[in-house]
Chains A and B, each alone.
Chain A
Amino acid sequence: MRFEAPRSAYVHIPFCAAKCGYCDFNSFAGMLHLAPRYTDALCRQVSSAAGASPGLDTVYFGGGTPTLLPADALARVLGELRRTFGLADGAEVTLEANPESASYEKLAAAREAGFNRVSIGVQSFDGGQLASLGRVHTREQAVAAFSAARRAGFQNISLDLMFGLPGQTLSDLHGTLASAIDLGPEHLSAYSLTIEEGTPLFERVRAGEVTPPDDDLAADMYQAVRQTLTRAGYEHYEISNYALPSMRCRHNEAYWRNGSYLGFGAGAAQYVAGERLTWEGDPVAFTGQIESDGRARAAFSERLEGRALLGETAMLALRTSGGLDLRRLSLDFGEDVEAVFSRPIRRFSQAGLIGVDDGRVTLTAAGQLLANEVLAEFLA
């Protein structure tokens, strides 16, 4: 298996105004004082990776809340990426933004610096649900952030939505979907809320203070999202992602292709030359490491090969509407992939969870809802 050189880069900004009750991601509230040193550290980490990429096709600033950084800091890090690796013509450069920190001024400056896609973490257009999720923004701020992004010149805007929220009904969800469609974003991500152990939400559910929708309602919601968004002209191109024609998120597509990507920042994941690693997650420790000797430490790394790598590649590909290309994969891996996967393919096509058409395996609508059941069986 030969590994392509990375043409994507992910930059992690771990700061948040407040930690949301459901979030178990590598993000921290009350640490913004570290931002200047952290920005310096990011730039140093980027420049020291010179030569790792022949030029970037996609860049993604995620968080945390990247828009909490001053615009010039965002511009500096992006500039460092451009200087170190070069940005391809038409590169997709995404900035994740939360409504409360996405002012017109900041967005305009970001657009000016070279960001051309913005992904706004709206989650819901229902004030009550936003509050119960522990989000710090309001419905009005979400709408304002969207129009600010448009005015700042972003022609590729994505909205993040969540469903399956505690107390949410199908009609609540339809309200949020209608509001989102009304704004006319090019791209929508709709995530089913996962209640992660260790989060305040998990504790509240356990204590019986809030009740998440049962699986049946969550499944109905998933289908409602799919139906409503596809009717509105969005293509359902990955389990949780919808886009207008030709507006798919190319950065995420690189992940699903199991392609290589660089990762920068505390807790960022990277996949280069067959090695997956996750950088030190604690922003203070991460910054300290760069400051002391210019090198971040990996908190975790692994190298997958053979069947394990094939399984992972299948797991990712099956999430997309393009599915698993058996011929292509057989070439890449130098073995008959259809034979390797014959058992799960037979089992799940009989169960109606996957379809096989012209050498491509894709999840059916029912299969998407049971994706874990299916994907797990493709793993080594």
Chain B
Amino acid sequence: MPQSQDHIRNFCIIAHIDHGKSTLADRILELTHAVSGREHRDQMLDTMDLERERGITIKMTAVRLAYEASDGQTYTLNLIDTPGHVDFSYEVSRSLNACEGAVLVVDAAQGVEAQTLANVSLAMSANLEIIPVINKIDMPAAEPDRVKDEIENVLAIDASDAILASAREGVGVQDVLEHIVHQIPPPSGSPSAPLRALIFDSHFDQYLGVVAYVRIVDGSLKRGDRIRMMASGKEFEVSAVGVFLPEMTEAEGLSAGEVGYVVASMKEVGDARVGDTITLARRGASEPLPGYKLAKPMVSCGMYPMVSEDYPDLREALEKLQLNDAALSWQPETSAALGFGFRCGFLGLLHMDIVQERLEREFGLGIIATAPGVVYRVYKTDGEMIEVDNPAKLPATTLIEKIEEPMVDATVIVPDEYLGGVLDLCQDRRGTFAHMEYSGVTRVIVHYRLPLAEILMDFYDQLKSRTRGYASFDYEMSGYLESSVVKLDIQLNGSPVDALSFITHRDRAYTRGKLMTERLKEILPRQMFEIRIQAAIGHKIIAAETVRALRKNVIAKCYGGDITRKRKLLEKQKEGKKRMKQIGSVEVPQEAFLSVLKLGE
């Protein structure tokens, strides 16, 4: 049943990680009786186990709530959840575009953090009404007044009316709902205009196919309508529309201002791309909603099955993951060292971690992932530009005119006593200082432009250790910049190990090569002959180590004729060797790849 548009409020909650976004969402769901006590699980909106464990939101959900406000009227509130992490900033921006307002949660002790800043700037550019909530006021370290100042000074949001809340204790939650009703404007679209619906998320259901999450901006949509995706041009017939209560509940139709789902026999997530606009196939809208772009992988790595027989399973698992994750891309590749595998592209490091973990956890696959790299733009002397996501694909140096690497604009918020460490780190990571300002009295907001590749290399760990965990960090992509990068090869007794080669900045090559060879020397078991480990750029060896030949491996004794035991020991040893990868004559345990690839700098 179409809602009266002026009684609809579409909102999201934005916050830095751990500031209490999920807890507040839970309380709101409870207060509006969307979830009964029995089916209530903490952090209801995060449906994947992984999200629950990591305390982060990966996939968004949209829940429709009924709220009887103090003015005696009942409003329909659509709570649209947003992922909190930078890797998913495009998805964040799409879900923000489905709303008219945002509840901004700031931790009363931590204050404004880097992700707060990033999310608020996205919300502002989506013209959202922002309702500041200072959460966790029950904590001993809470300083609501300081945080109010920060919100006003750093975010330029009037905080005089900020709600003081403790979502954990249920304090202030009612106020939040009242503010939503009174402060956030109702949706403004026209129900009689041609249909325009924004796809802000989707998931794959094995029976229904792709379920697209939509915000109807103009017009209306019902079962049986023939729809067209304005970016992809694909057409489908709608088999069901509905809303999330929070479980999927079919409705007669959806109309301007409403949030719900569309099912239309779409076979792959690519059929309903986030950001695309749905219109009707006949008498459709002429202009799509603004802002659609294809999510592009920024980070890539090779993924190989630990046991080669698992290759088909890995392919199937990737196919299944892709159904729910349009941002994941992959194609088959072959490594001399690791056999058959896939080159996978990700939005960022967290996205990569999540995919790896899901492969292992949900599909029970053992994975060897090669070192993550960024996607370089290589301009060849023949004028062609290619994108290189794999060191093996880098053309010969003579064919390269120039190489560009992806850059990010990074924001670090840090107590001023640790400022020096942050500046040193950014400088050391080839960063270019942009500007810096004070947030409150003792905290500084530092802006740097950094190569994305430098962030892949344990930047976050370094930042944490140099600031004792007090810094918060966020970044956004910021184009490409010409850079002097080289391919570094690792060789064992002269045979290159393709899985261990990587592209790196020329200034980093020596230290990384040295580190890599040293580490391999520690990891490689001694074998019956000497092993030379070399790091090379082209033909030039820049670092070398030697693993001396194994001299002794012998069982001394067989006690009292216990021959079985001795044989089993040797069988175990032989079995262990089978699991090693043979590179030239050298046997490399898979753990070696794992630990070398996890190598930080």
A and B found bound together: yes
Interface string of B197-237 (1 = CB under 8 A from A): 00000000000000000000000000000000000000000
Whole-angstrom CA separation of A262 from B561 in the bound complex: 10
Instruction: Flag whether A372 is at the interface (Cβ < 8 A).
Output: yes
Mask for B517-536, Cβ within 8 A of A = 1, else 0?
Answer: 00000000010110000000
**CB of A276 closer than 8 Å to a CB of B:** yes
- B-facing residues in A44-98 (Cβ within 8 Å): 60, 62
| Distance between Cα atoms of A311 and B571 in the complex (Å) | 11
The answer, yes or no, to whether B560 is at the interface (CB within 8 Å) is: yes
Contact A369 B556 (CB under 8 A): no
List B contacts of A60 (CB < 8 A).
560
Alpha-carbon gap, A369 to B571, bound state (A):
18
Please name the residue on chain A nearest to B550 by beta carbon: A370
A239 lies within 8 A of chain B by Cβ: yes
Q: Are A377 and B563 in contact (CB under 8 A)?
A: no
The answer to whether A379 and B554 have CB atoms under 8 Å apart is no
Asked if A371 and B564 make an inter-chain contact with CB atoms under 8 angstroms apart, the answer reads no
Q: Assess whether A165 is interfacial by the CB under 8 Å rule.
A: no
Q: Which residue of A lies closest to B560 (CB)?
A: A62
A10 an interface residue at 8 Å Cβ cutoff? yes
Query: Could you tell me the distance in whole angstroms from the C-beta of A60 to the nearest C-beta in chain B?
Result: 8
Complex interface: chain A residues within 8 A of B558 (CB): 255
- For B159-192 the 0/1 string (1 means CB < 8 A from A) is 0000000000000000000000000000000000
Contact with B along A298-335 (1 / 0, CB 8 A): 00101000000001100110000000000000000000
- CB closest residue in chain B, given A378: B570
- B562: chain A residues at CB < 8 Å are 269, 278
Name the B residues within 8 Å of A315 (CB-CB): 566-567, 570
Q: Is A125 an interface residue (CB 8 A)?
A: no
A209 touches B (CB below 8 Å): no
Q: Are A12 and B551 in contact (CB under 8 A)?
A: no
Contact of B553 among A10, A62, A369 (CB under 8 A): A369
CA distance A60 to B561 in the complex (A): 10
Q: Which of B90-136 contact A (CB under 8 A)?
A: none
Task: State the Cβ distance, A16 to closest chain B Cβ, in Å.
Answer: 14
Q: How far is the CB of B589 from chain A (nearest CB, A)?
A: 15
A351 at the B interface (CB under 8 A) = yes
Partner of A379, one of B526, B551, B570: B570
User: Would A379 and B571 count as touching, CB distance under 8 A?
Assistant: yes
Complex interface bits, A276-304 against B, C-beta within 8 A gives 1, otherwise 0? 10100000000000000000000010100
Chain B residues with CB under 8 Å of A270's CB are 561
Residues of A contacting B577 with CB < 8 Å?
Answer: 376
Q: Is A268 an interface residue (CB 8 A)?
A: yes
Q: Within 8 Å of chain B (Cβ to Cβ): is A375?
A: yes
Contacts of A240 in B (CB 8 A): 556-557
Given B526, B551, B566, which contacts A369 in the complex, CB threshold below 8 Å?
A: B551
User: Are A216 and B554 in contact (CB-based, < 8 A)?
Assistant: no
Whether B552 contacts A369 by the Cβ 8 Å rule is: yes
Question: In the complex, how many angstroms separate the beta carbon of B552 from the nearest chain A beta carbon?
Answer: 4
Q: How far is the CA of A84 from the CA of B559 in the complex (A)?
A: 25
At the interface, yes or no: B555 with Cβ under 8 Å from chain A?
yes
Residues of A contacting B554 with CB < 8 Å? 192, 222, 239, 368-372
Please determine whether B528 and A370 come into contact, CB atoms closer than 8 angstroms: yes
Task: Check A105 for interface membership: any CB of B closer than 8 A.
Answer: no
- The verdict on B574 contacting chain A, using a C-beta distance below 8 Å, is yes
User: Which residues from chain A contact B552 at a C-beta distance below 8 Å?
Assistant: 192, 215-216, 218-219, 222, 369-370
B573 CB within 8 Å of chain A: yes
Interface string of A213-246 (1 = CB under 8 A from B): 0011011001000000000000000011000000
A140 within 8 A of B: no
Residue from B551, B559, B563 in contact with A312 in the complex, judged by beta carbons closer than 8 Å: B563
Central interface residue in B528, B556, B577, by most chain A CB within 10 Å: B556
Q: A311–B551 Cα gap in the complex (Å)?
A: 24
A371 to B551, CA, bound (A): 10
Residues of B close to A218: CB separation below 8 A:
552
Which residues of chain B have C-beta atoms less than 8 A from A376's C-beta?
570-571, 573-574, 577
- CA of A192 to CA of B529 in the docked complex: distance in angstroms? 22
* A38 at interface, CB cutoff 8 A: no
Asked if A194 and B567 sit within 8 Å, CB to CB, the answer is no
Query: How far is B525's CA from A174's CA once the two chains are assembled, in angstroms?
Result: 30
Please give the distance in Å from A340's CB to the nearest CB on chain B.
16
Of all chain A residues, the one with the shortest Cβ separation from B551 is: A219
What residues of B have a CB within 8 angstroms of the CB of A12 in the complex? 560
Residue of B nearest to A368 (CB): B554
Question: How far, in angstroms, from A69 to B528 measured CA to CA in the complex?
Answer: 46
Q: How far is the CB of A260 from chain B (nearest CB, A)?
A: 10
| Chain B residues whose CB sits within 8 angstroms of the CB of A369 once the complex forms | 551-554
Q: Is B564 a contact partner of A353 (Cβ separation < 8 A)? A: no
Q: Which residue of A lies closest to B570 (CB)?
A: A376
Inter-chain CA distance A351–B528, complex, in Å, is: 8
- Contact A276 B563, CB 8 Å, known A240-B557, A255-B558: yes
| Chain A hits for B553, CB < 8 A | 215, 369-373
Are B563 and A316 neighbours in the complex by a CB distance under 8 Å?
yes
Which chain A residues lie closer than 8 Å to B563 at the CB level? 255, 258, 269, 271, 276, 312, 316
Known: A302-B564, A312-B563, A351-B528. A215 touches B556 (CB 8 A): no
Chain B residue nearest in CB terms to A25: B559
Which A residues touch B574, using CB under 8 A?
376-377, 379
Contact B551 A255 (CB under 8 A): no
Contacts of A216 in B (CB 8 A): 551-552
List, in ascending order, chain B residues with CB within 8 A of A185's CB: none
Contact A191/B556 with A269-B561, A353-B528, A372-B573 known, Cβ cut-off 8 Å: yes
Q: Tell me the minimal C-beta distance from A362 to chain B in angstroms.
A: 15
Q: Closest residue to B577 on the A side, CB-wise?
A: A376
Quote the shortest CB–CB distance from A363 to chain B (angstroms): 9
CA distance A112 to B526 in the complex (A): 52
Tell me how far the C-beta of A307 lies from the nearest C-beta in chain B, rounded to whole angstroms: 13
CA distance A222 to B554 in the complex (A): 10
Q: Do A372 and B555 contact each other (CB < 8 Å), given the known contacts A315-B566, A377-B574, A379-B567?
A: yes
Within 8 A of A (CB), among B543-601: 550-564, 566-567, 569-571, 573-574, 577
Q: Are A10 and B561 in contact (CB under 8 A)?
A: yes
Cα of A261 to Cα of B563 in the assembled complex, Å: 12
Taken together as a complex, chains A and B put the C-alpha atoms of A263 and B566 apart, in Å, by 17
A300 touches B557 (CB 8 A): no
Residues on the B chain within 8 Å of A302, using CB: 564
A23 to B, closest residue via Cβ: B559
Question: For the complex, what is the distance from the CA of A269 to the CA of B559, rounded to whole Å?
Answer: 9
Smallest CB separation, B548 vs chain A (Å): 8
| Contact partners of B550 in chain A: CB under 8 A | 215, 370, 373
Can you list 9 A-B contacts (CB < 8 A)? A192-B554, A194-B557, A255-B563, A261-B561, A369-B554, A371-B553, A372-B553, A372-B554, A376-B571
A interface list, Cβ under 8 A from B: 10, 12, 25, 60, 62, 189, 191-194, 215-216, 218-219, 222, 239-240, 255, 258, 261, 263, 267-271, 276, 278, 300, 302, 311-312, 315-316, 351, 353, 368-373, 375-377, 379
Nearest 8 A-B pairs (CB), nearest first? Answer: A191-B556, A219-B551, A219-B552, A371-B554, A376-B574, A376-B570, A372-B553, A192-B556
Known pairs A193-B556, A216-B551, A239-B554 / 14 extra A-B pairs, C-beta < 8 Å: A62-B559, A215-B550, A255-B558, A271-B561, A312-B563, A315-B570, A353-B528, A368-B554, A369-B552, A369-B553, A372-B554, A376-B571, A377-B574, A379-B570
